[in-house]
């Protein structure tokens, strides 16, 4: 079996859904779903998104690109991405300061680092 097939079946089982119930909710034929789960064929991207939404997992998880099952909506940022954004904003603010103020901040950072080492 494929990673995609294994994860589709596992996600469906985790939600406690039969193939017939998935058909009722998505109109994906249960024989087609069975082929997806057994690796006989792969769903198109729209079908994959539909199943990911139903199973409340990410498309990346289903396809094996991400080990994390949690669903991440398009445009939603991870904690790491938010932290990086905050650091970038802070760096931009510091770079916008006059040279002498940037040096003061650098000195404060060095002092704090030395204090903590």
CA distances from 12 to 37, 59, 84 (A): 10, 14, 34
**pLDDT of amino acid 40:** 94
What are the pLDDT digits (tens) for 13-43?
999 999 999 999 999 999 999 999 999 999 9
Q: How far apart (Å, rounded) are the C-alpha atoms in residues 93 and 35?
A: 54
**pLDDT above 70 as % of the chain:** 89
**pLDDT of amino acid 107:** 94
Q: Are 36 and 43 in contact (CB under 8 A)?
A: yes
The torsion angles phi and psi of 51, rounded to 5 degrees, stand at -65, -40
**pLDDT of amino acid 16:** 96
CB under 8 Å to 95, separation ≥6 — which residues? 102
DSSP 75: T
Q: What's the pTM value of the predicted model, to 2 decimals?
A: 0.58
Q: Are 102 and 94 in contact (CB under 8 A)?
A: yes
Q: How far apart (Å, rounded) are the C-alpha atoms in residues 83 and 90?
A: 11
CB under 8 Å to 33, separation ≥6 — which residues? 8, 19, 22, 23
**pLDDT of amino acid 70:** 54
| Residue ranges per structural domain of the chain | 3-74, 79-116
**pLDDT of amino acid 17:** 96
The torsion angles phi and psi of 17, rounded to 5 degrees, stand at -105, 140
Query: Which CATH number applies to 3-74?
Result: 1.10.260.40
**Residues of the chain whose pLDDT is less than 50?**
74
């Amino acid at each position: 079996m494929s990673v995609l097939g294994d994860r589709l079946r596992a996600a469906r089982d985790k939600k406690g859904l039969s193939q017939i119930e998935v058909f009722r909710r998505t109109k994906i034929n249960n024989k087609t779903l069975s082929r997806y789960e057994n690796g006989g064929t792969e769903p198109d991207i729209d079908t994959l998104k539909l199943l990911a939404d139903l199973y409340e997992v990410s498309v990346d998880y289903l396809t094996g690109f991400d080990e994390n099952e949690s669903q991440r909506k398009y445009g939603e940022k991870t904690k790491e991405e938010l932290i990086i954004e905050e650091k970038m904003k802070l760096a931009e603010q510091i770079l916008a300061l006059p040279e002498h103020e940037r040096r003061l901040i650098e000195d404060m950072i060095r002092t704090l680092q030395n204090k903590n080492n």
